[in-house]
Amino acid sequence: MLDLTPREVKERSALRINPCKTCQPVGAMYAALGVHGCMPHSHGSQGCCSYHRTVLSRHFKEPAIASSSSFTEGASVFGGRSNINTAAKNVFDMYGPDIIAVHTTCLSETIGDDLNSYIMDLDLPEGKIVVHANTPSYVGSHVNGFFNMMMGFMNYLTQRTGTPNGKTAVFPGWLNPGDIRELRRLAGLMDVPATFFPDQSGVMDAPMTGRYDMYPQGGTTIEEIRGLGDCAGLIALGEIIGAEPAELLRKKWKVPFVLLPAPIGVSNTDQYVSALRRASKTEVPAELEAERGRLVDLLLDSHQHTYMKKAAIFGDPDVALGLTSLALEMGMVPKYVITGTPKEEFTRRANALFSKYGAEGCTAKANADLFELHQWIKNEPVDVMIGTTYGKQIAKAEDVPFVRAGFPVLDRYGGTLLPIVGYSGAIRLTEQITGALLDRFDRDASDEDFEIVL
């Protein structure tokens, strides 16, 4: 498989092969699913909406609800005003959401539909809301679509009343529901009243109850989004995905923020816990100190098997940076670190991590693809690959151990329920990475080296 991938690397600017990303509307749809009682709406063709729903459903193993403006040739020529008018009425009548979150697609962006004016002219039922975000598929990645949709909600809904609500806002970024649940647990341990936005926990991992509920109990409420302007402060997680929404909240509603890396690994989780400690003005509880101690003990115990092992890490920028930080804490060499999102800030931050830990000969690249990563591995192999399902073909072709993490993971089950963030998430990742390396050792060991205790 992929045997014809050439070793010779040629710089490409106009072509991506096996891209390490998907398009903005996927991210916008996922962000909207993190709002309670919300129907994501794709302003474009039905085929676009079907693809975006499919990607999310395959990863989360849950139905990703969404509606579509169902463009045909007429809308492509004359614009989609009548489509959004009809769609809004039908969606509210048939599915009864509290809010519709409209995102654009390639088609509606190319013809220049003015969704702001369309929405202003809608005849909405009492108490119902429509918001929108511009998410052209041919720019950026699903990460851009995610934070653009966040800002769409905030621009329409967030207010500043002047009366503080005593809460800390937390922007978790693009994480799985299990990750958000873990971040909320840590905030609870630190006694920090928090509004998480968006919050897909309880929505994209809704429990089996025996009946279908289109709008499960989870998600950030409309009132919580309105109240973001009255929060005492903001902790924005993910230095790439969180920067623009955090800056918007500061500029428009004067909410101070701290921008932190995704809390994957010891150091990054320490930063999140420290931010919670400043917000609560309380000491870190013994339970949390014990969790950290167990993680550090595991890193020491497994160090002999991970030290100087080379890793190829790929995926969304903030998750890839978090995985890189953890790999360095494990004594590994993150030989190749890539993301498909075109954000050069990613490269700068990755190189800063290499410098901090004295890791030499490492390469980081934004706006990259998996074809190029495969070429690099062909020229200089690695000991393990860490990333999304789309790396499995490379792992098979080059016979490299593979640990799945990030979005999307399409060929495994349960990962969206279990965290990779926090101290407990880092324990899970360390076990997975070490286990993959030891499985390879056992597979290749001669009989006399095939030990019971390693």
User: What's residue 439's pLDDT?
Assistant: 96
Which two tokens mark 388?
């999304």
One-letter amino acid at 89 equals K
pTM, two decimals, is 0.96
List where CATH 3.40.50.1980 sits in the chain.
24-139, 168-280, 289-448
State the fold for domain 289-448. Answer: Rossmann fold (3.40.50)
175-223 confidence digits (pLDDT tens)? 999 999 999 999 999 999 999 999 999 999 999 999 999 999 999 999 9
pLDDT, position 384: 98
Spatial distance between the Cα atoms of 30 and 47, rounded to a whole number of angstroms: 17
Beta-bridged to residue 313, according to DSSP, are: 337, 386
CATH superfamily of the 168-280 domain: Nitrogenase molybdenum iron protein domain (3.40.50.1980)
Q: Is the distance from CB of 264 to CB of 425 less than 8 angstroms?
A: yes
The CATH number of the domain covering residues in 24-139: 3.40.50.1980
- Asked whether 190 and 170 are in contact (CB, 8 A), the reply is no
Per-residue pLDDT of the chain (454 residues; tens, 9 = 90+): 677 899 999 888 888 899 999 999 999 999 999 999 999 999 999 999 999 999 999 999 999 999 999 988 877 777 788 999 999 999 999 999 999 999 999 889 988 989 999 999 999 999 999 999 999 999 999 999 999 999 999 999 999 999 999 999 999 999 999 999 999 999 999 999 999 999 999 999 999 999 999 999 999 999 999 999 999 999 999 999 999 999 999 999 999 999 999 999 999 999 999 999 999 999 999 999 999 999 999 999 999 999 999 999 999 999 999 999 999 999 999 999 999 999 999 999 999 999 999 999 999 999 999 999 999 999 999 999 999 999 999 999 999 999 999 999 999 999 999 999 999 999 999 999 999 999 999 999 999 889 888 7
Percent of the chain having pLDDT more than 70? Answer: 100
The reported pLDDT for the residue numbered 1 is: 62
**Confidence (pLDDT) at 2:** 78
